């Protein structure tokens, strides 16, 4: 079938009455922004519906409306034929809407049992039945083959297990509709595959599942139908089997998108980055980082893959020179010899990469303000600064009202472009790119990837840290896999397969995570 990206889609749920969850005309505005614009959506029991959309398409707002956290301006949410009172989370829960939020809603120093008991609601004076809750938790855990440890504080558990606790929490609350907001964001590929199996099984038992995501691959793997949102509106609802990923991407973004960028092949030059014996004591509690040895050559992109929290952030900081290693050294050599310059795309651009209240111009000048070119005897050379910033803004396509606009009023994509425009100025020898596309939409991601490839073609060395395996594979010549604070393997792009990298990512953690209930 053909689906136009501009007309709302046309795969009806087989009779609205049969739907476990129906959304009718939900509209929610924040000031001038229409976050949800007359959104309709249906999920039937036993079905997995993917809700696809870019950041800002209105997915999260819709989830909040469904879970009763946000009161919509118009429209209704119907569960099993009954309309929910708007803006009442307790009623939504009682009606059987279970939500697994992207950021888990667990009390870190409580055990799984306690967290589950907490979610069961409480009545003053009612006794807390720990043994009963624990028994029911374990029974469900076994039935759905979702192993969890009931008696360990959840902060000590791996994210995958915490996610399983969240799901079990919903099931124990007799959820009939399960909403999962970007569930794969915190998982390794192997963990995601396991979760996908669980979701399919839950669906086969009659649960209606809504999977919120912006990753096309996940949809193809598990979803039956897919509702695409853009700019707060539902663009289309399609059967996943009938629709090519390119088609979905086009509907999501509103234009043609290059899903795969061609990786340029550049002859590797001299060694630019040489890190030897890097360690950092106690990078996360009692875990030590390293020792890490790394070499990256000119014209080469080294991708560092790993499940979040295995030392990648810390290694990126060490390589960028933001933190000092306990032992070991980082040497950056310019391509022509001598000490090299490093550009850094910070993992958290708002915390470490930008001064949000300051202007676009001020943010572009951070590294070079003291240079002869831009200041003389301590006085800023206004004209040159203006010309420089205008050139940077134009060549990186930053959309801003002007150079004096505070950076905090720009979108995430434009903020990241400012970071790139600053850090790639003057062709640094080494680029440390930590999660360079986190939180960006497809168009901005395309741009960032193109810039990294351009830096490489120009003969720069790059270390790319990313939680997105697709990104690592698309850009890297070699792939280093981190686990437990160490680099467990370095593979060439030819040797590396998703399965192999996924296995290595969980090599250390995975062993720890094995639980026999």
Strand partners, 83: 78
The reply to whether 230 sits near another protein by the rule CB under 8 A is: yes
Beta carbon nearer to another protein, 54 or 477: 54
What span, in angstroms and rounded, lies between the C-alpha atoms of 311 and 328? 16
The reply to whether 270 sits near another protein by the rule CB under 8 A is: no
Rounded to the nearest angstrom, the gap between the alpha carbon of residue 484 and the centroid of all alpha carbons in its chain is: 21
Strand partners, 296: 273
Contacting another protein (CB under 8 A), which of 4, 71, 409, 492?
409
Residues 42-81 close enough to bind another protein by CB under 8 A: 54-61, 64
Contacting another protein (CB under 8 A), which of 191, 362, 471, 477?
362
The reply to whether 412 sits near another protein by the rule CB under 8 A is: yes
Q: Is 514 helix (H, G, I), strand (E, B) or coil?
A: coil
The reply to whether 38 sits near another protein by the rule CB under 8 A is: no
The reply to whether 354 sits near another protein by the rule CB under 8 A is: yes
Beta carbon nearer to another protein, 56 or 189: 56
Half-sphere exposure of 193 (CA within 13 A, CB side): 8
Beta carbon of residue 453, minimum distance to another protein (angstroms, whole number): 20
- Could you give phi then psi for residue 345, rounded to 5 degrees? -100, 105
The reply to whether 130 sits near another protein by the rule CB under 8 A is: no
Beta carbon of residue 412, minimum distance to another protein (angstroms, whole number): 6
Contacting another protein (CB under 8 A), which of 262, 401, 511, 516?
401
Beta carbon of residue 432, minimum distance to another protein (angstroms, whole number): 11
The reply to whether 30 sits near another protein by the rule CB under 8 A is: yes
The reply to whether 27 sits near another protein by the rule CB under 8 A is: no
Beta carbon of residue 251, minimum distance to another protein (angstroms, whole number): 14
End-to-end CA gap in the chain? 47
Residues 183-212 close enough to bind another protein by CB under 8 A: none
From 312, 381, 307, select the one nearest 347 (Cα to Cα): 312
Beta carbon of residue 363, minimum distance to another protein (angstroms, whole number): 8
Asked if 312 contacts 469 with a C-beta cutoff of 8 angstroms, the reply is: no
Q: Which residues of 344-353 are buried (b: 16+ CB within 10 A; e: fewer)?
A: bbbbebeeeb
From 364, 361, 363, 293, select the one nearest 325 (Cα to Cα): 293
Beta carbon nearer to another protein, 58 or 306: 58
Beta carbon nearer to another protein, 244 or 380: 380
Instruction: Give the strands of the sheet with 21-30, arranged side by side.
Output: 33-43, 21-30, 74-79, 82-83
What span, in angstroms and rounded, lies between the C-alpha atoms of 132 and 440? 44
Contacting another protein (CB under 8 A), which of 45, 88, 405, 493?
405
The distance between the two most distant Cα atoms of the chain, rounded to a whole number of Å, is 76
What span, in angstroms and rounded, lies between the C-alpha atoms of 369 and 387? 14
Contacting another protein (CB under 8 A), which of 43, 52, 266, 320?
320
Contacting another protein (CB under 8 A), which of 439, 468, 488, 513?
439
Rounded to the nearest angstrom, the gap between the alpha carbon of residue 171 and the centroid of all alpha carbons in its chain is: 25
Asked if 247 contacts 257 with a C-beta cutoff of 8 angstroms, the reply is: no
Asked if 117 contacts 128 with a C-beta cutoff of 8 angstroms, the reply is: yes
Contacting another protein (CB under 8 A), which of 375, 390, 500, 508?
375
Q: Which residues bind another protein (CB under 8 A)?
A: 30, 32-33, 35, 54-61, 64, 230-232, 254, 320, 322, 344, 346, 351-359, 362, 365-367, 369-370, 375, 378-380, 382, 399-402, 404-406, 408-414, 422, 439, 441, 443-444
């Amino acid at each position: 079938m053909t689906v136009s990206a501009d007309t709302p889609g046309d795969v009806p749920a087989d009779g609205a009455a049969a739907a476990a969850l129906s959304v009718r005309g939900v509209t929610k505005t924040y000031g001038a922004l229409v976050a949800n614009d007359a959104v309709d959506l249906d999920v039937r029991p036993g079905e997995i519906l993917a809700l696809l959309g870019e950041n800002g398409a209105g997915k999260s707002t819709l989830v909040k409306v469904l879970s009763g956290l946000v009161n919509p301006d118009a429209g209704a949410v119907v569960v099993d034929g009954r309309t929910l009172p708007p803006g009442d989370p307790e009623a939504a829960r009682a009606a059987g809407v279970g939500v697994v939020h992207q950021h888990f809603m667990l009390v870190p120093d409580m055990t799984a049992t306690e967290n589950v008991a907490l979610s069961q609601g409480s009545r003053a004076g009612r006794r807390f039945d720990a043994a009963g809750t624990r028994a029911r938790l374990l029974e469900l855990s076994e039935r759905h083959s979702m192993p969890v440890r009931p008696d360990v504080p959840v902060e000590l558990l791996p994210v995958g297990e915490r996610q399983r606790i969240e799901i079990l929490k919903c099931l124990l609350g007799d959820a009939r509709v399960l909403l999962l907001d970007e569930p794969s964001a915190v998982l390794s590929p192997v963990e995601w595959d396991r979760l996908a199996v669980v979701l399919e099984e839950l669906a086969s038992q009659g649960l209606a599942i809504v999977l919120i995501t912006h990753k096309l691959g996940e949809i193809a793997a598990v979803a039956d139908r897919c509702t695409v949102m853009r700019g707060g509106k539902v663009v289309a609802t399609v059967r996943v089997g009938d629709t090519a990923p390119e088609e979905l991407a086009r509907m999501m973004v509103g234009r043609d998108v290059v899903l795969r960028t061609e990786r340029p092949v550049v002859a590797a030059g001299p060694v630019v980055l040489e890190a030897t014996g890097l360690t950092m004591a106690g990078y996360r509690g009692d875990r030590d980082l390293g020792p890490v040895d790394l070499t990256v050559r000119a014209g080469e992109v080294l991708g560092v893959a790993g499940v979040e929290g295995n030392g990648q952030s810390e290694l990126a900081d060490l390589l960028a020179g933001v933190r000092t290693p306990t032992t070991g050294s980082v040497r950056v050599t310019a391509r022509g010899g001598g000490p090299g310059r490093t550009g850094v795309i910070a993992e958290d651009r708002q915390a470490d990469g930008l001064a949000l209240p300051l202007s676009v111009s001020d943010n572009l000048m951070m590294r070079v303000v003291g240079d002869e070119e831009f200041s003389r005897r301590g006085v800023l050379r206004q004209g040159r600064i203006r010309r420089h910033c205008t050139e940077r803004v134009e060549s990186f396509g930053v959309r801003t009202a002007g150079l004096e606009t505070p950076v905090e009023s720009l979108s995430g994509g434009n903020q990241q472009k400012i970071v790139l425009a600053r850090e790639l100025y003057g062709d640094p020898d080494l680029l440390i790119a930590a999660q360079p596309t986190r939180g960006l939409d497809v168009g901005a991601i395309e741009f960032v990837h193109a810039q990294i490839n351009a830096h490489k073609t120009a003969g720069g060395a790059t270390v790319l840290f990313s939680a997105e395996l697709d990104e690592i594979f698309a850009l890297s010549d070699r792939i280093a896999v981190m686990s437990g604070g160490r680099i467990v393997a370095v593979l060439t792009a030819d040797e590396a397969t998703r399965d192999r990298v996924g296995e290595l990512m969980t090599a250390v953690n995975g062993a720890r995570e094995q639980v026999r209930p």
